[in-house]
Amino acid sequence: MTRHESPQSAPETAPKPAGLTVFLETFGCQMNVLDSQLVTGQLRGLGYRFIDDWKLADVVLYNTCSVRERAEQKVWSRVGEVGVHKQEHPEVLLGVIGCMAERDGEDTVRKYPQVDLLCGPGELDKLPMLIDNAVKTSLTDRGGLRSAKIALQGDTHRRSGTLSAAEDKLEMLDLARSFSPDDHQGSSYVRITRGCNKF
């Protein structure tokens, strides 16, 4: 929900973002760039609008890498900045997605209580529902301390088997890739593996 709109209830199966604005910053490798492209296409298809200024966004997402230490330090610095911003704007949702979310799990929420949702690279198809749940939690708990945080859902391991990958919607996210005419992309990444612990 944007800061200027009244709350609306959304059905469990089809999140209604009502024009939510999203800021997404990507850290790490080319797989993270691809994941960010897929997340952007998925959320745009549901009506989310992407903006370049995180201070004006309703949802701030950081797509993270757990291999490169410098990238991790930048993420924690950004999470800290958003935490300060949320003191005046508690309605802003902060999400950490990608490998750091998967590796650190709910420890992230304990160390950084400003984080509203976590989503590992093997669960990106669930991100719209996680955002919707976080919006509902924020509305329910407004004015008080938020007692529940949205964390990783389902399996937290990276997909490795062809059959298990075909059983969920994650691979459909790759196949349903969409591009905006505004992207002006001359090239795109193609996934050959999910996660960085593969040969």
The pLDDT-based confidence of 179 (bands split at 50, 70, 90) is low
As a whole number of angstroms, the distance between CA 42 and CA 62 comes to 16
- Residues 80-105 as b/e (b if ≥16 CB within 10 A, e otherwise) read eebeebbeeeeebbbbbbbbbbbebe
pLDDT higher for 185 or 131?
A: 131
pLDDT tens-digit readout, 95-115 = 999 989 988 888 898 999 999
- pLDDT of the residue at 55: 97
Residues 6 or more apart in contact with residue 41 via CB below 8 angstroms = 176, 177, 178, 179, 180
pLDDT tens-digit readout, 34-86 = 899 989 989 998 999 999 999 999 999 999 988 878 889 999 999 999 999 99
CB 74 within 8 A of CB 82: no
- pLDDT of the residue at 82: 97
Biggest alpha carbon distance in the chain? Answer: 49
- pLDDT of the residue at 114: 94
Domain 21-180, CATH class in plain words? alpha beta
- pLDDT of the residue at 76: 94
- pLDDT of the residue at 171: 60
Locate 63 and state its tokens.
């797509």
Walk across the sheet containing 93-98 and list its strands.
Answer: 49-50, 21-26, 59-64, 93-98, 117-119
Locate 123 and state its tokens.
């669960």
| Cβ neighbours around 44 below 10 Å, total | 15
The pLDDT-based confidence of 183 (bands split at 50, 70, 90) is low
Reported pTM: 0.74
